[in-house]
A and B are shown apart, each in its own frame.
Chain A
Amino acid sequence: MPNQQAAARRGFFESAPGRTIARNWALCFLVLMAVVFSFAGPGFFDLVNFQNILHLATGSFLLAAAETFVIITGGIDVSIGFVYGLSSVLTATLMRNLTLAGMAPGEAIVISCLVALLVCLLPGFVNGILVTRFKVPSFIATMGMWGICQGATLYIAGGYLPVMGAPESVSRIGNSFLFYIDPGKSLTFFHKPDYIANESVRQLARVFPSSLLLSIGVLLVLGFLLKYTKFGRHTYAIGGSMDASVRAGINVDRHLVIIYTLSAFVAGIAGVFDVFQTGIGNYTPTGANYELLAVAAVVIGGASLLGGKGGILGTAIGVILIAVLNNGLQIVGISSFYRYIGVGILLTIAVVIDQVFPDLE
């Protein structure tokens, strides 16, 4: 019995506190790391820095949340990194062209975002059809889409240059905070008080970046879907046993098509928001590995590539863990290539824990 072998290897981790630690190792590791960086890196333990970490992790949150669904069904989606870039470049190009054509900025922004989101449904839908109808392994199907989306992105962007020319208000929205406090003087929502010049904005207490609002919103919706609905339950069932799901009368093919479409759609949201954050349309640079970092976050968060396990909360912790690792190493002044080693080690720990504790929930 594999369970008995596993039990023999456990030792300390058989006890109740040990099990709690093993179950929440990622969270424990995160706290430990935050403590170490707080002492080792001046400026790490700071509200602005924490806001920064979360603000810059917006894309990672969304991509990893999308990947969570696919991985729970036992598949993998490596196309999302480039769907992300496609969506960003498409949104920025549309915004620029529509504004140039004389449309009001507000309308141009809304229409561009909607069109980009609709277009992003397509790669996911095709992935889903390939995986279900044509029985293409998900890795290969989505790798094909990875290439197609990359090519399409560069075609739209007209080469390896970011797309400029989106209305200026775009990046103001993306970088706003929920509220601004000028101590003792004023409190405003979503925009800084008018009397404060851009240069002196640092005097203000800026609370809760609106990017975090988006991340939390998307994660809450997806988490709810996964945990409390029939749709979520079937997602786990398919990952646990495809046969059992088919025989229980679940329309597995339809479900998988929806999952892959959802995955690309959420990556599309991330791409659209990237335009709001940066004000330009960024193609995905080769070697950015967004999709692989998303997979890493999902696995660190407790999912298994064999399917049937994982969750949005775990994934969010995985994303924060990687983001804090990057940020902390930077602040401490350790060369950035160590972070690859760091992510690699975390992934290995995740997989080993999954092997030793097959029945941890």
Chain B
Amino acid sequence: MAYLLETKGITKRFGGLTAVDRVDMGVEAGEVVALLGDNGAGKSTLVKMISGVYKPDEGDIFLDGKKIEITSPIDALAHGIETIYQDLALAENLNVFSNIFLGREKTKKALGIFNVLDHGYMEEESQKVLDRVDIKIPSLKANIRNLSGGQRQAVAISRSIYWDAKVLIMDEPTAALGIAEQRKVLDMVKSLKKHGIAIIIISHQMYDVFEVADRVIVMRRGIKAGERLVKDTSSEEVVGLIVGAEEVGKK
């Protein structure tokens, strides 16, 4: 099957350091790819090139087989590549529906002249999309500050899928959550997968990876150290790839 999103020979250097070195990777529609690696292995840099935060020094990004230029986060969003960062990037002082519509607010005409915010519409639409990920939030008028970690994650995910994400990148989605909420988030990921969204997850939690991912890609010191189908591998092998034990073994 063809990849929905693919990188070819993508490279990013910071001064003398090559953070990501000619990496080829791809993700299919309805597939979850887990991106693993130790701290500083280049996972975040790789993902940030796809989401438009960094501009690659070399290499290309393809969406649906067509080469695309991503020079800013806005470009990535326009291509349907949504990213949920570890800090979720929500404005804590705003309410749920304002966050889901942040930057893309729906307005209506008041008195035929002024464009004013259409709160009613935004609240209704937000409720619909939250229902899709099956998350209960007592009031969509509540500020993000007053929500739990799982609810915030749900808001961030809802925002992405509301805007027709084709590719969803999630950075450590379960890192700051309690056990019950981790389950909830993993369930959300599974349901997004059923909707045909291509998902890239960065995670440290081996359990998460084996629970939801179809394929793992392991990064080590900027290069792709290995790629395995989850059904054909074990956590021992993946850990081995992360720390480089396999290479040592070969010698």
Contact = CB atoms under 8 A, between A and B. Distances in A.
A82 interface: no
Which residue, of A239, A240, A309, has the highest number of chain B Cβ atoms within 10 A?
A240
B143 A237 contact: no
A236 B117 contact: no
**Number of contact residues on B: which range applies?**
20 to 34
A233 B105 contact: yes
Interface string B91-111: 111100011001111010010
Interface string A231-257: 001101101110111111110000000
Nearest to B146: A359
Contact of B102 (A228, A250, A358, A359): A250
B105 A241 contact: no
B89 A244 contact: yes
Nearest to B119: A228
A230 B92 contact: no
Interface string A208-240: 000000000000000010001110011011011
A308 B89 contact: no
Given A236-B93, A240-B92, A249-B77, A230 B146 contact: no
A228 B110 CA distance: 10
Interface in A314-361: 358-359, 361
A240 B103 CA distance: 14
A245 B74 CA distance: 11
A26 B91 CA distance: 26
B102 A245 contact: yes
B162 to A, nearest CB: 12
A308 B93 contact: yes
Given A236-B93, A241-B92, A308-B91, A247 B117 contact: no
A247 B91 contact: no
Contacts of B145: 358-359
A236 B99 CA distance: 11
Interface in A140-171: none
A274 to B, nearest CB: 30
Contacts of B115: 229-230
Contacts, number: 74
A234 B83 CA distance: 20
Contacts of A359: 143, 145-146
B54 interface: no
Contact of B91 (A228, A244, A358): A244
Interface string A244-288: 111111100000000000000000000000000000000000000
Which residue, of B89, B93, B110, has the highest number of chain A Cβ atoms within 10 A?
B93
A39 B208 CA distance: 70
Contacts of A244: 88-91, 99, 102
Contacts of A237: 91, 94, 98, 102-103
Interface of B: 73-74, 77, 83, 85, 87-94, 98-99, 102-105, 107, 110, 114-117, 143, 145-146
Given A228-B110, A236-B91, A245-B91, 12 more contacts: A236-B93, A237-B102, A240-B94, A241-B89, A241-B91, A244-B91, A248-B89, A248-B104, A250-B102, A308-B92, A308-B93, A358-B145
26 contacts: A228-B114, A229-B107, A230-B107, A230-B115, A233-B98, A233-B117, A234-B103, A236-B91, A237-B91, A240-B92, A241-B90, A241-B91, A241-B92, A244-B90, A245-B102, A245-B103, A246-B73, A247-B83, A247-B85, A248-B89, A248-B103, A249-B73, A249-B104, A250-B102, A308-B91, A359-B145
